[in-house]
A and B are shown apart, each in its own frame.
Chain A
Amino acid sequence: KAGVTQTPRYLIKTRGQQVTLSCSPISGHRSVSWYQQTPGQGLQFLFEYFSETQRNKGNFPGRFSGRQFSNSRSEMNVSTLELGDSALYLCASSPDRIYAREQYFGPGTRLTVT
């Protein structure tokens, strides 16, 4: 079974621009979560989607948004990029969300904002 895939793997943007990242979960997984990873803050939860609905959200500004499609693929969008948004953005999928379940991470998208 194929793992979680994320595209693109690397991205360079300038301040003020917006960016869209994509995530395809493991086949059959319906829950997709997004995380931001930085050396200073570690792994921070952004949001979780299940059945095309955002079910949970972390403490990030409204510039960070996402969506999930009927095939469970998810996109994350960051508008008006800031230097501090430079990070590794990770997507994780889970079989379901009824119970606390294992998450499987993708390789991440390395975003650099200049």
Chain B
Amino acid sequence: GENVEQHPSTLSVQEGDSAVIKCTYSDSASNYFPWYKQELGKGPQLIIDIRSNVGEKKDQRIAVTLNKTAKHFSLHITETQPEDSAVYFCAASLHSGGYQKVTFGTGTKLQVIP
């Protein structure tokens, strides 16, 4: 089955700096890669996603890149703010045998220091 590895597990950055979180996946059939932000006491919130036919996608301060050959994708947050502090999850998803399979990474706890 699919295996998703996520690094680092914790990340501290100064406010205004950039943060990068990296994930690798094992199943080349995965074709959809969402990123989620989970704040304390809340469910994961979809913040950005990318499909396998796209190499990069950007939404304001957040961007995601995908390297299909190397089977890795990354989340980039620029000009970090204290409210970016949360746990971030990557996921790899594929549609197989009539159903969708989603595998999550183990999460990265991001702390933005004011």
Chain A residues packing against B (C-beta within 8 Å): 4, 6, 31, 33, 42-43, 45, 48, 55-56, 90, 94, 97-108
Complex contact B100–A43 (CB within 8 A): no
Complex contact A56–B100 (CB within 8 A): yes
Complex contact B100–A101 (CB within 8 A): yes
CB-nearest residue of chain A to B31: A100
Please report whether the interface of chain A is mostly helix, strand, loop or mixed according to DSSP: strand
Is B88 on the interface with A (CB-CB < 8 A)? Answer: no
Which of B13-21, B63-71, B77-85, B91-99 lies at the binding interface? B91-99
CB-contacts of B82-113 with A (<8 A): 89, 93-95, 98-107
Complex contact B99–A56 (CB within 8 A): yes
Complex contact B100–A48 (CB within 8 A): yes
CB-nearest residue of chain B to A96: B100
With contacts A42-B104, A42-B107, A48-B99 taken as known, whether A100 is within 8 angstroms of B94 at the C-beta atoms is: yes
Contact of A105 among B45, B94, B106, B107 (CB under 8 A): B45
A-B pairs with beta carbons under 8 A, tally: 58
With contacts A106-B43, A107-B42 taken as known, whether A42 is within 8 angstroms of B95 at the C-beta atoms is: no
With contacts A99-B95, A100-B32 taken as known, whether A105 is within 8 angstroms of B102 at the C-beta atoms is: no
CB-nearest residue of chain A to B92: A100
- Residues of A contacting B107 with CB < 8 Å? 42
Contact of A102 among B34, B41, B43, B105 (CB under 8 A): B34
Complex contact A56–B89 (CB within 8 A): no
- Residues of A contacting B101 with CB < 8 Å? 45, 56
In the assembled complex, the Cα of A98 lies from the Cα of B95 at a distance in Å of 8
Taking the closest CB of chain A, its distance from the CB of B92, in whole angstroms, is: 9
Complex contact B42–A103 (CB within 8 A): no
With contacts A43-B104, A55-B99, A56-B99 taken as known, whether A108 is within 8 angstroms of B34 at the C-beta atoms is: no
CB-nearest residue of chain A to B52: A100
Complex contact A90–B44 (CB within 8 A): yes
With contacts A42-B107, A43-B89 taken as known, whether A103 is within 8 angstroms of B45 at the C-beta atoms is: no
- Residues of A contacting B46 with CB < 8 Å? 102-105
